[in-house]
Structures are given as C-alpha cells and as structure tokens.
C-alpha cells in the first residue's frame, strides 16, 4: 500500500523539472555568453516545456490554500507563472531554479499532508481508488498481447507454415542476450527474444499463460465437423481483481479511516473523539467482504453472499467471479457524498486485548473455560482482568 500525499507527488515533479529548467538556463546562458540571444521562438518553447509539469500539478494537485505546503510552493508557482520570453528570460529561469532548490529539502522531509476538509481527504482517497482500479482493470493487456504474439508464431509451425517452432517457455530475461551483445554495430539490430526451449528459473510454460487468460472459445471444424463453444472465467482476471480488492481495502482501512478520524477529532473533547472503527462505509464494507473471500476463502463466496451496497447476488459456495461490468459499477458508484457525512462516535462496550499469553497458561485457561457448561470466554476474560486490577489496587 503506497501512502498518498501531495507533497510526494510535487517532489517527484520538481526533482525532475529542476534538471530540465537548469539545463534550459545553461543553454540560454551559453547563447548570451556568445553574444547571440536565444531566439524568442526557442525561449517560448523552453518556457512551455520547463513549466508545463508545474502547471499540470497546479491543475491536478493544487496546494490547499492556507496549508504549509501552499506556502512552501508559492515561490515555485509564482516564478513558473511569471516566466516570459524576452529580456528577463534568463533571470526568470535562474529564479525558478532557485525557488525549486529552496523547496526541495522541505518536500523531502514532509511525510504527511495537511488536510483542511473532508472534501480534500475524499479527493485523495478517490485518486488512489481510481488509479489502482484503472491499473488493475488494464493489467492483463500486456499478457494478452504476449500470448497473441506467441500463438501466432506457434500456429504457423503447427499448420506447417514454418519449419521451426517458437520456444514453449517464456523467460523474464532475453534468451538471446549474448547474441545481442555480440552483434555488429553495422548490422540490423537483433530483436530480443524471450522464448526458451527448456524450463528453468525465471521461466514459465506458455500454456500456463494461455490458460490464465482463457475466457472460452468458439470452435468450428470445416468439412461438416460442426461448431461448439466454451466459456470460462479467466484466471488472470481473478488474480488482478483479488489483488485490487486486497489493496483498496488496505488503503481504506489502514490509511484513510485513521485520517478521517483525525480530521473529525480536531477540537473535540476526548470523550467525543472518534476511533478508526467509527469511520464506516457500506461501500467499503462490501469491498472488505469480497476481499475476505478472495484472501481467506480461496475465492469461494461466503461473506460476499451478504453484500449490502452492491446488488450482485453472489451465491454462497459458488466461485467468486467478479465481472468487468461489476468493476465498472464499483468505479461509477464511488460514495463521495456518503464519505462527506461526519459519523457519530460509537461507544464500544467490548474490545480485543492486545499482546499474547504464555502458551501453558493459555492452554490451562482455555481448557477450564471449554470444560465449563456456563462460563463463556468473554465472561472469563472479564473476571480475569477484574481480579488482576483488584490485586494491583487499580479497581
């Protein structure tokens, strides 16, 4: 799970941008030193290329007004906006480099963003949500292309249109690396090959990749053989979606629920403060149920049979097969409005105990509780803690 912060995104852009801006300043200085001013057309091109990443960040990740980040970035933003061609071009570039140099150390030491409102925090969550979802939904495009290319070569051999078959094993490393290194600089470049005739470390049989994307087929044999069809849920889709549900649940549960609680707790008395578990969402609770079935139930529907936000009607005991259409529904129904509603603190009556116990003591304890027809585990835990607190004079 990657921590979501505007400061880290600005840092990446400005670190890369600083190289480009300083190189532009060096180029302008070289022209000026030779008594030849850089043409205005070239100056305007440099301004566009140098400042566009900053302007795109202003549009996509604007610093929140009144926060420390906004103050830190103000110099960079003003210098980027005011940079113009003409007499002050070189000076403007130099000042922009200086402004970037001033803010970079601050951004590198910033670990958390200041959040001014629930709207801002929901926006950060939606960014991580959408980015991860789009990447997950498009992840198997590369394997589809890889399998298609391999099948085309292999089919030519099977049909007798090629004398040599392509290797049946896909390698993560080029199998003709030595040939590439030894090629003549005057020859046509040798194309990398990732197929091997033999198994080994870092290799997988192409049939496993073919199987992973198999969604079924229409099969027809000419000469009166007839036609048939099969339909399957691709293993690759299950892997990608399982990874996404696991990731987004972690992002929500480990990063954003505590941040929502911290936001709403500003200025509140201790007894009125929210806990992480007070931050609830029917939408993300359904995601948790699907994630649980993927992770703990080997992709068999159990918790997902009781979804409350999504009307998907998964049947208990069936394979958990989330469709592309359902993933699009997840994307379209991101609960912005519901997340902006401040929750009420829930006064917990019971809570799990942290830590561990000596195994011999725990075995004896559980043996006694399990052998009692009337004593439940919660009642026994309360008695144990009460007796300890009384013994220590704390109760």
Q: What is the tens place of the pLDDT at every residue in 9-62?
A: 999 999 999 998 888 888 888 887 887 778 899 999 989 998 999 999 999 999
In a domain, 280, yes or no: yes
Beta bridge partners of 221: 226
Distance from C-alpha of 203 to C-alpha of 266, rounded to nearest angstrom: 54
Looking at the structure, tell me whether residues 270 and 291 fall in a common domain: yes
Residue 189 binned pLDDT confidence (cut-offs 50, 70, 90): confident
Looking at the structure, tell me whether residues 267 and 125 fall in a common domain: yes
Model pLDDT, residue 371: 84
Beta bridge partners of 226: 221
Contact partners, residue 295, CB within 8 Å, separation at least 6:
242, 246
In a domain, 240, yes or no: yes
Looking at the structure, tell me whether residues 277 and 315 fall in a common domain: yes
Looking at the structure, tell me whether residues 172 and 259 fall in a common domain: no
Residue 219 binned pLDDT confidence (cut-offs 50, 70, 90): low
pLDDT tens, residue by residue, 372-385:
878 888 888 888 99
Give the residue from 157, 187, 212 where a domain finishes: 212
In a domain, 188, yes or no: yes
Q: Could you give the number of structural domains in the chain?
A: 4
Looking at the structure, tell me whether residues 233 and 206 fall in a common domain: no
Tell me the pLDDT of the chain averaged across its residues.
Answer: 89
- Please give the residue range of the domain that contains residue 50: 6-114
Long-range Cβ contact pairs of 340-344 (< 8 A, separation 24 or more) = 340/118, 340/119, 340/122, 342/118, 342/264, 343/264, 343/274, 343/278, 343/279, 343/280, 344/278
Looking at the structure, tell me whether residues 19 and 89 fall in a common domain: yes
């Amino acid at each position: 799970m990657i921590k979501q912060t505007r400061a880290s995104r600005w840092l990446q852009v400005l670190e890369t941008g600083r190289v480009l801006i300083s190189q532009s300043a060096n180029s302008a200085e070289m022209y000026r030193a030779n008594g030849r001013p850089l043409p205005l057309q070239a100056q305007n091109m440099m301004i566009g290329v140098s400042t566009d990443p900053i302007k795109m960040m202003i549009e996509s990740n604007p610093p929140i007004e009144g926060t420390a980040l906004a103050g830190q970035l103000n110099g960079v933003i003003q210098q980027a906006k005011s940079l113009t061609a003409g007499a002050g071009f070189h000076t403007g570039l130099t000042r922009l480099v200086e402004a970037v140099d001033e803010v970079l150390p601050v951004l590198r030491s910033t670990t958390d963003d200041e959040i001014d409102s629930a709207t801002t925090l929901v926006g950060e969550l939606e960014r991580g949500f959408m980015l991860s979802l789009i990447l997950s939904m498009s992840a198997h495009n590369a394997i589809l292309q890889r399998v298609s290319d391999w099948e085309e070569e292999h089919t030519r051999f099977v049909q007798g249109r090629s004398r040599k078959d392509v290797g049946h094993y896909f390698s993560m490393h080029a199998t003709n690396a030595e040939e590439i290194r030894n090629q003549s600089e005057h020859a046509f470049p040798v194309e990398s090959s990732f197929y091997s005739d033999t198994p080994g470390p870092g290799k997988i049989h192409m049939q496993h990749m073919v199987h992973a994307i198999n969604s079924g087929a229409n099969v027809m044999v000419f000469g009166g053989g007839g036609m048939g069809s099969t339909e399957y849920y691709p293993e690759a889709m299950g892997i990608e979606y399982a990874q996404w549900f696991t990731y987004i649940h972690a992002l929500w549960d480990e990063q954003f629920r505590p941040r929502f609680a911290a936001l709403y707790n500003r200025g509140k008395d201790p007894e009125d403060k929210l806990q992480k578990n007070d931050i609830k969402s029917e939408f993300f609770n359904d995601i948790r149920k699907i994630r649980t079935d993927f992770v703990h139930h080997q992709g068999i529907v159990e918790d997902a049979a009781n979804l409350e936000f999504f009307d998907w009607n998964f049947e208990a005991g069936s394979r958990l097969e989330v469709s592309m259409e359902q993933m699009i529904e997840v994307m379209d129904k991101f609960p912005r409005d519901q997340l902006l509603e401040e929750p009420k603190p829930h006064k917990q009556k019971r809570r799990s105990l942290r830590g561990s116990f000596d195994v011999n003591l725990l075995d004896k304890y559980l043996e006694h509780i399990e052998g009692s027809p009337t004593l439940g585990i919660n009642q026994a835990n309360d008695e144990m803690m009460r007796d300890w607190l009384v013994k220590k004079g704390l109760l």
